[in-house]
Every structure is written in C-alpha cells, then in structure tokens.
Chains A and B, each alone.
Chain A
Amino acid sequence: MKRDIILSGVGGQGILSIAAVIGEAAVHQQLYMKQAEVHGMSQRGGDVQSNLRISDKPIYSDLITRGKADLVISLEPMEGLRYAGWLSSDGWLVTNTTPYINIPDYPAEDALKTALDAVHKKIMLDVDRIAKEVGSSRVSNIVMLGAASPFLGISYEEITDGIRRIFGRKGEAIVNLNLKALAAGKAVADTIIT
C-alpha cells in the first residue's frame, strides 16, 4: 500500500488540518508516513502545499516525484491546477471550486473552468457552501477530507476514528459536526466515482 498525496491551497486556508487527520489515521494503522510542510514567508497569503506520503514500507524522499502523485487535494481551484502536473495517469484531483483571489492576474472564470475540464479524474465541490449547510463554515476542511476519503487507501472507519481522537477533547457536539461534514464531502465523491 502506498499513497502519495499533495495538499494545496493559499497560506492561511489550513491545509495542514486535513493532513493532520490523515496522518493520525495512518500512524494509528502503523503505516510509515512522511509529511513535508511549508513554513515561513509563503504563509502570508502565498501558495502553500504539503507533500503527504503514506506507505506500508519505509519511505525515502520527503518530496513526491513528479507524475507519481495518487491524489491532489486542493482548497483552491487554481492551486489544484498548479499541482495537477504531479498526478499519475490514474491520479485524482479533489478540489474546492471557490477561488481565492488575492492577485491581479487571477485567471478569468471560463479560463479556469476550461483548465479544470482538462483534468479527467476529478471531484469538484463548493466546500464552503456544503460546510454551511452542514452547520458551520469552520468544518469546510473536513468536507474536503470527506470528498478525498475514497482515495486515501485508509478505510472510512479509520478516518472517522481519527476524527474522534483529534476532536474528542472538544466534546461530542464538535465530533458529530465534523463527522457530518466528512459524510457530506464523501457523498459528493460517491456520486461522481460510481
């Protein structure tokens, strides 16, 4: 078992909170894991990414080789496209559809759409809208995780257990809200992959 995952977004969107849940579930399953993060200057509104590697065998590189990623999870559509080039031929892009526009030359809506259409295997969802429907915009990253959950190589039950362990301290209501968000994200993915 091996999964090479790139998480991407804009500094401040909290891609590491998604990585934390996947990492927790992976480590709990005694899998090997390496996760490279971006700290420092780019965190101020620049593009950020994290390379997350999970395997049942020891992992050498902290970085994923181009063309070998199994999954790109992006909280922002243009940032998803930035790393789509790392995907293998059967890799999936799971991306939020809401643009984060903080640069003057951000692509026009139709140009962005055309570029996204060129990615064959993808799940696109408006995580912010779904999160609000679930009950809070604060769980948007967990909606995203739910949409990516079929591709992680870790069972859905392991991920829900991971959420219980991570959010358990914050009480039952928070745990349930996050589980609901996870399920809502997964539901979107399920309609596309089946």
Chain B
Amino acid sequence: MDKLLLLGDEAIAQAALDAGLSGIYAYPGTPSTEITEYVQSSEKAKTDNIHCRWSANEKTAMEAALGMSFAGKRSMVCMKHVGVNVAADAFINAAMTGVVGGLVVVAADDPSMHSSQNEQDSRFYGQFAMVPIFEPSNQQEAYDMVYDAFELSESLGTPVMLRITTRLAHSRAGVSRRPEKQQNSLHYSDNPRQFVLLPVNARVNYVKLLAKQRDYILLSETSVYNDYIDGNDHTRGIIAAGIAFNYLMENYPDGCPYPVLKVGQYPLPEKRLNSMAETCDELIVIEEGYPLIEDSLRGLLHKGLKIDGRRNEFLPRTGELTPDIVGKAFGFPTITSMVVSEVVKMRPPSLCTGCGHRDMFEALNEVYLEKGEDSKIFGDIGCYTLGYLPPFKAMHTCVDMGSSITMAKGAADAGLKYAVAVIGDSTFTHSGMTSLLDAINDQSPITVIISDNETTGMTGGQDSAGTGRIEAICLGLGIEPEHLHVLVPLKKNQEEMVRVLRDEMSYKGVSVIIPRRECIQTLARKKKS
C-alpha cells in the first residue's frame, strides 16, 4: 500500500480509524485539533457511524469517551496539554475504574508555548494516573503506537495515554497503514463494581491498579518502542525520549558514538536503565518538556551517576528542543554564514481586519478609558486575547478557560468598581457558564461581554457548542432580561454599543452584553464551499 503523507495529528486519527474506533471526543485546542478534524472529514466516519462531533470541553469529552469504553467500544479523547487539567478529574478516575473497550487519551503538549499559556508536561499526568504512556518520535510511530494502544488498553483494562508535542502534531511525513479492524460490538464489564467508585469499591480498584504497575514496567522492558542502540564510546550513555531522539541523530548522521536508549513507552524500563548505567560513566537525558526521566533516574538507578539534562542546564530548562540546541549541548558549533539582519522586526499575530472583536474593543475602550483605575478588563482564551496588544491594550488578565468571569467577580468582591469580563462564545460554553452562575448567585457588580462570533475561531473555526442559544443559556442561569443585550458589532453601531456598555457598567449587578457577528474567516470559508 502506498504511504500517506500525514501530519502527526492525522496519523493518530488514521490509526484510530484503522483500529476500529467507534467514537472520538474532543474540544478544539492547538496542537491537537487536527486529530478530530481528520476523523470528521473521513468517509469512514459517515459510512461506519463513528461519533466525531465536538464536545463542550475536555472533561465532557473524557467522560463520554469513558462511557463509550464502558459500553465495550473503542474510543479516543484528544486535547491540548492544558485541556488535561480540565479533564483531570475524569482522567485520573478512569485509571481507577479501568476500561472495557480500548480507550486512548491523546495529550498534545506545546513546549515553547507557540499557542498556549504554559508548557506543562502531560507525561506527569499519565504517571500520576498510573497508566501506560506512549511517546512517538515520528509520524509512523504515532500511527503504530495508537494502533497498538487500543489493543494494549483492552488487554490490560486501562486507559492508555499518547503524549505528543507541537512539532510532531504539525509536521507531515509518509505513513504506512496497517489492516483495518472492525468496531467492537456492544458489551459490558462482568464486574458490577468496576465503574462504581464508592470507597468500598475504590479501595479494591486501587490495589488492582497498583498491582498492574509491575506488568506495565515489564511491558516497557521488552517494548519495541524502547530501543537500545549500542555505541563504541561508553563514557556517556544517552537516553532520548520521543522526538528528542531525532534531534540527537540529526547531529550524528553517521551514527551516534555513544550507546542510546530511545524511550517511547512508559513507565520507564527500570532494568534497561540500570544495565545502561552499569556500562556507562555518565548519563545524558534528552527529553521534550519537564525533566521527568531525569528526575526519575535519580530514584530508579542502583548506583549514583552524573546525570546531564535540563536540571544542570546541559540543556535549557525551558522551551522546545531543536537540532541546534541539542547539537550545542554536544559541543557542535552553530553555523552562522548569515546573521539575521536587525531590520527584521517581530510580527505578532493580530485580530483580522473586519473582525467583530475589533468593533467590540473599540467601543469597550471608549468607556473603559473614561473610568481610569476604577476599571479592569478580565480576558479569556481565544482570538480576542489579542486585544491585549496594541492598538487596543484592553486586557489585564488571561489565565484559563472561563476565568474572565470568575476573576472579574473576585475582583469586584474585593472592591473593584468596574469589573468587565471579555469571553468568547465557545469559551463561555466550555467553562464560563458555571462562572456566570456564581456571579449571578452573588449579584456581583460585573459586566460580562460574550463576544459571540458563532464559532471556535482561534483554532480554525470549529463548531461552537452554544451557537444560537447563548441568550437562552444566560437567561436560564438567571440573568435579568433587562440586563441582557444583543448587539451587532459594526462601526455604524458604535454609539449604541458605547451607550449600552456605559449604562451596564454602572449597574450594580450582573449584566451580559453579547456583541454578535460571525467570524469573517468562517464566513469566507462557508462562501467558498
């Protein structure tokens, strides 16, 4: 069969389709979005009735995927690294219940924060939940690992995590497929206690979960994804995880002189690590993200060895690895035949010309600047976060999904006179609804702007869970109808928007203002198709 040219994300999706997937659950988030999109646009999703509609957030996605597994079928749940925080309650407890149908959890990390608020390392979540983790070094491995992960998940009765990073997610390479499998039929666990985590059952499950750890380690010892490549020079031994392996080998095109253990499956293979430590004078760890392997080694090794890694600045503590960074660590000179000219300036992203968020910020700034220090704007996660940058400079916070409303409420509780929250429609239904409920119950004096572009814009225009129902949701939560306004953010309506904002910012209770105009990118795509 011919190779397919696939993004890492697409390879993951193709593997899931080939492995008999019955449903994929996700909320869009860079760099994980394209996994679900690939399934959505596949013929197979239609012909085989594979669930692929977006979920409201990562927690609902994780729970639905677990529900599908409960019913015996294979499911996948995908998210960006910070999405794992949202899904964590369900994820950690899914490890406690175990699974029936294979359940693969994909966490896409974003070291260097290309499109994120932090660079947290999802392997820690996998380790915390005590589930096996795969970490591919290339697109073919991503495919193979997902294909194998469904089998492993079912045979061990546990969710399996696949951890990738931005570079693999968004890089394309040739991928060979494996034979297509049928979907599982509906079937259930024969243990009625398995999914009921009452303390009496949870204690039993926890002992089982701990007992399984030994099996997981044994599997890692013999895994094809943990590959030992011997070298002549044992003054150093190198442990390279996931795509870090590529950056090492890029610097040694004719083969690495030192022994290398390529790590792709966790928990770590303790015996292999120890036998490497026996024959090497010191160890070097190259891993994308936090120093997980590096720190683990200090507890796992039977003898003390010097370990170079991110802790001692052998490699930088922050940011994505590159072939240059790894090369420099090994003493290779950086070639600079040309220096980058100083005329080259930063070109940060900006709101599109004609975007409705722009008109919203124009109006908001007019009122906000009148209030001076008495007014703060609490932002959220989405395109409109760019309102922080010039020319608007209209944002004082951006922390996590839904935090705009609750942080505004907290600041108002503290005495801030004019607290304004700016949140998008998709972020609102992801995590802002409960925040609004808190504010309404407390009658907090805040003004909430739900800047509604009827899509999930930043990630490329995916369906937004509450489109057409945002006012109904707000009314249902208890917002007073006279303090709920829907406006069209256009230049010609500027005066009206300013007036409504000024009135509502003076109101000593919760108001919701919904500037609504479809995202111009989504609109353009619709017109094209």
Interface of B is mostly: loop
Which A2-34 residues sit within 8 Å CB-CB of chain B?
10-11, 23, 27, 32-34
Output the least CB separation between B145 and chain A (Å): 17
Question: Which B residues lie within 8 Å of A103 (CB)?
Answer: 345-348
Question: Which A residues lie within 8 Å of B341 (CB)?
Answer: 81, 84, 115, 118
Residue A43 CB within 8 A of the other chain: yes
**Interface 0/1 of B334-371, CB less than 8 Å to A:** 11111111011111111110000000000000000000
Q: When the two chains form the complex, which single residue of B5, B172, B346 contacts A37, counting CB atoms closer than 8 Å?
A: B172
Output the least CB separation between B21 and chain A (Å): 23
Output the least CB separation between B154 and chain A (Å): 31
**Interface 0/1 of B376-401, CB less than 8 Å to A:** 00000001001000100000000000
Measured CB to CB, the nearest residue on chain B to A106 is B345
Which A66-80 residues sit within 8 Å CB-CB of chain B?
66-68, 78-79
Residue B171 CB within 8 A of the other chain: yes
Q: When the two chains form the complex, which single residue of A37, A46, A66, A85 contacts B347, counting CB atoms closer than 8 Å?
A: A46
Contact A36 B170 (CB under 8 A): yes
Residue B247 CB within 8 A of the other chain: yes
Report the bound CA distance from A11 to B458 in whole Å. Answer: 13
Report the bound CA distance from A12 to B215 in whole Å. Answer: 49
Summed over the interface, the residue pairs from A and B with CB atoms below 8 Å come to a total of 150
Contact A85 B34 (CB under 8 A): no
Contact A41 B115 (CB under 8 A): yes
Report the bound CA distance from A104 to B351 in whole Å. Answer: 15
Question: Which B residues lie within 8 Å of A87 (CB)?
Answer: 337-338
Total A residues in contact with B, Cβ cutoff 8 Å:
53
- Interface range for B: 35 or more
Contact A45 B352 (CB under 8 A): yes
Measured CB to CB, the nearest residue on chain A to B322 is A63
Report the bound CA distance from A10 to B349 in whole Å. Answer: 9
Contact A81 B344 (CB under 8 A): yes
Contact B340 A102 (CB under 8 A): no
| Residue from A27, A33, A60 having most chain B Cβ neighbours under 10 A | A60
Say yes or no: A85-B340 contact (C-beta < 8 A), given A40-B114, A62-B167: yes
Contact A46 B322 (CB under 8 A): no
**Interface 0/1 of B29-56, CB less than 8 Å to A:** 0110110000000000000000000000
Say yes or no: A34-B343 contact (C-beta < 8 A), given A45-B349, A62-B246: no
Report the bound CA distance from A161 to B322 in whole Å. Answer: 34
Say yes or no: A34-B114 contact (C-beta < 8 A), given A67-B337, A68-B335: no
Residue B477 CB within 8 A of the other chain: no
| Residue from B7, B324, B339 having most chain A Cβ neighbours under 10 A | B324
Which A101-152 residues sit within 8 Å CB-CB of chain B?
102-107, 111-112, 114-115, 118-119
Report the bound CA distance from A104 to B347 in whole Å. Answer: 10
Contact B5 A40 (CB under 8 A): no
Residues of chain B whose beta carbon lies under 8 Å from any beta carbon of chain A: 3, 5, 7, 30-31, 33-34, 114-115, 167-168, 170-174, 243, 245-247, 249-251, 322-324, 327, 334-341, 343-352, 383, 386, 390, 458-460
- What are 20 residue pairs bridging A and B, where the CB atoms are less than 8 Å apart in the complex? A35-B171, A35-B172, A37-B7, A39-B31, A39-B170, A40-B114, A41-B349, A63-B167, A63-B323, A65-B335, A66-B324, A78-B345, A84-B340, A85-B340, A87-B338, A102-B347, A103-B348, A104-B390, A107-B343, A107-B345
Residues of chain A whose beta carbon lies under 8 Å from any beta carbon of chain B: 10-11, 23, 27, 32-47, 51, 59-68, 78-79, 81-82, 84-85, 87-89, 91, 102-107, 111-112, 114-115, 118-119
Kindly list 12 other residue pairs between chains A and B, CB separation below 8 angstroms, not including A34-B171, A62-B246, A106-B345.
A37-B171, A40-B31, A45-B347, A47-B347, A51-B171, A60-B249, A61-B323, A66-B334, A66-B336, A82-B344, A85-B339, A115-B343
The 8 closest A-B pairs by CB, nearest first: A67-B335, A40-B30, A40-B115, A46-B349, A115-B341, A107-B343, A44-B349, A62-B171
